[in-house]
Chain A
Amino acid sequence: MRGRLLPGLVLLAVPLLVTVVGPLVAPAFSGRGVAFGSTGVFGGDFVGRDVLGQVLRGGASVVGVAVLATLVTYAVAVPLALLAATTARRAVDEAVMRPLDVVVAMPSMLLVLLLVPIVPGSALVVAAVVALINLPDVVRIVRATALAVAAGTTVEALRMQGEGRVRVGAYVLRSVRRVVLTDVGTRFTGALYLVASAAFLGVGLSADDPNWAVMVDANRDGLFVNPAATVVPALLIIALSVGANLTSDRLLGGAR
């Protein structure tokens, strides 16, 4: 069952466009007024900065960190999963998979709250922690798919031809590509969820950083005076999440 592509794509395009083009035009909206005042299109924020300007600057640290976290997840998970799936030694498989069970047993929000503040103010640490939390799921999915391929006749034939580990590994990698692609949308929104929630709870970033999630938290006190300061960044995050889910489902769902 396939729906239309356009609505999801539009939802995804708006926050992405703001993220990419926003910082270029933001300097034009750097006016300062009173806190939650009515200067500018969306009024002022909790210290009187132009909300539009902050919105235009605030995408990179949400979208960028979520993309980075997703990339790190796959960069670590795929080699680990292939190693676990193609190894002849059971001990190697166990050594890869069992530590991941420990990560799964930890409530993920607790991990975010405890690990991110270890090095404050670093987007890299946020990305690394989020990647760690997403790691077990991706390793399991890729390993399960790779196991089926690795036990198949093609790999057996490759081995009998005397092909090395690299050739066999490359074949298995190509075979799991489709599963990885289908999974990308879910992983990205999962990473976005954690990155944004962490920023909202105030871990990893300071209240002055231009960041949509931080803006939602910092401007909440003025919800009755200037709701736009809170709602506009919140809607951008919602559009990003919903748009990414719908688009990846429509574009890549057919691969299932």
Chain B
Amino acid sequence: MTAVLARSRRRVLPLPGSLGAYAVRRLGLGVAQILVVAVVVFLLTDRLSGDAAVVIAGDDPDPAVIAALRTELGLDRPVWERLGAWLGGALTGDLGTSLITGRAVTAVIADGLPVTLLLAALTLVVLVPLSLALGMLAARREGGTADRVVTATTIGLYSLPEFALGVVLVTVFAVQLGWLPPTGIGVAEPAVFVLPIVVLLARPVCSLSRLVRAGLVDALAADHVAHARRLGFSPRAVLWRHALPGAVTPAVQQLARTTDWLIGGVVVVEAVFVLPGLGTALVDTITARDVPVVAGLALVLATGTVLLNLGADLLARVLTPVAS
């Protein structure tokens, strides 16, 4: 009953041609979501055992020194006061300064962003055509050899930890064969990104290509596709124009979920290949209890999540205007 209700409501609310209105509404929701994530992260980082003063004091854990450091860093102020000050600054584009290094948080983000953006963008650029190709290959003849191989591989490799795959690939292609650099240390050539992107692709390709396959198998058996065939459209036109658009909607929606994996994957992959991106910065600053930097990085990651989600949802709406 609830399912029926939800569906009819979805059909009524967005007026025809209101893609822009929908985008604006989703963007508003997204901004709220980003704020919630940033606040939660700020409070959580603050709750971690030990704080930046203890980390800076390091080998000299003299209580008096730590207390002085706390006063200097403003850590003796109540957490709500610091959160308020940080949020106020964030609205004007000032994310504060690192407690450890004193650098502006925006500078830390600017340092790591290019590497992470490049990794994510290259992964997405390869991911979509590769998943489509694998899904179409498998769906062309259901139960055939190609289908069995693709399906078994994508089921088996689903949610394989990136670091395990990463070190095995490094051992084969960097240590044994010497074809590719093992890490990003001291290397400034495109080859650095080959293994990280292969590793990042493994997880989303499995789920996306399976959804493309499932959608396409259904679509190819659907009445409207059979009708298009009877009308004499070429097999290629039937596949690309009639079967595919409707068939990939679940995969496009899954693309939104992929963002979450991509963020997790980027953190791990940057650690495996020692790449100086946002993920490395995040792990380092959490260890150092550097609250403003962690919150700033979370803000960037949450923004990325919201934007990619929005992109995927808009794409799904364009492909199937009725279903969304």
* Separation of A111 and B30 alpha carbons in the complex (Å): 19
A-B residue pair count with CB separations less than 8 angstroms: 146
Given contacts A114-B44, A120-B49, A197-B268, contact A223 B175 (CB under 8 A): yes
A220 close to B167 (CB less than 8 A): yes
Answer whether residue A246 sits at the interface, using C-beta atoms and an 8 A cutoff: yes
Task: Say yes or no: A197 contacts B263, CB within 8 Å.
Answer: no
B165 contacts A by Cβ under 8 Å: yes
A151 to B163, CA, bound (A): 45
CB distance from B187 to the nearest CB of A (A): 15
Is A241 among interface residues, defined by CB-CB distance under 8 A?
A: yes
- On B, residues with C-beta under 8 Å from A are 1-3, 33, 36-37, 40-41, 44-45, 47-49, 142-143, 147-148, 151-152, 155-165, 167-168, 170-171, 175-176, 182, 260, 263-264, 267-268, 271-272, 282-283, 286-287, 294, 298, 301-302, 305
Whether the pair B159, A234 counts as a contact (CB closer than 8 A) is no
Bound complex: CA of A115 vs CA of B48, how far in Å? 8
Asked, given contacts A107-B264, A235-B168, whether A113 binds B282 with beta carbons under 8 Å apart, the answer is: yes
Residue from A186, A201, A224, A227 in contact with B159 in the complex, judged by beta carbons closer than 8 Å: A186
Cβ of A8 within 8 Å of any chain B Cβ, yes or no, is yes
Tell whether, in the assembled complex, residue A241 and residue B159 are in contact, meaning their CB atoms are under 8 Å apart.
Answer: yes
A200-B161 in contact (CB<8A)? yes
**A106 located at the interface, meaning its Cβ lies under 8 Å from any Cβ of chain B in the complex:** yes
Residues of A within 8 Å of B170, CB to CB, are: 223
Report the Cα distance A114→B291, complex, angstroms.
11
Name the residue of chain A whose CB is nearest to the CB of B169. A234
* Size class of the contact patch on chain A: 35 or more
| Interface residue? A172 (CB, 8 A) | no
A46 interfacial by beta-carbon distance below 8 Å: no
Interchain CA distance A108-B165 in the complex, whole Å:
20
7 more CB-based (< 8 A) A-B contacts, given A105-B37, A201-B283, A245-B155: A1-B147, A107-B305, A201-B271, A217-B163, A223-B171, A238-B165, A246-B156
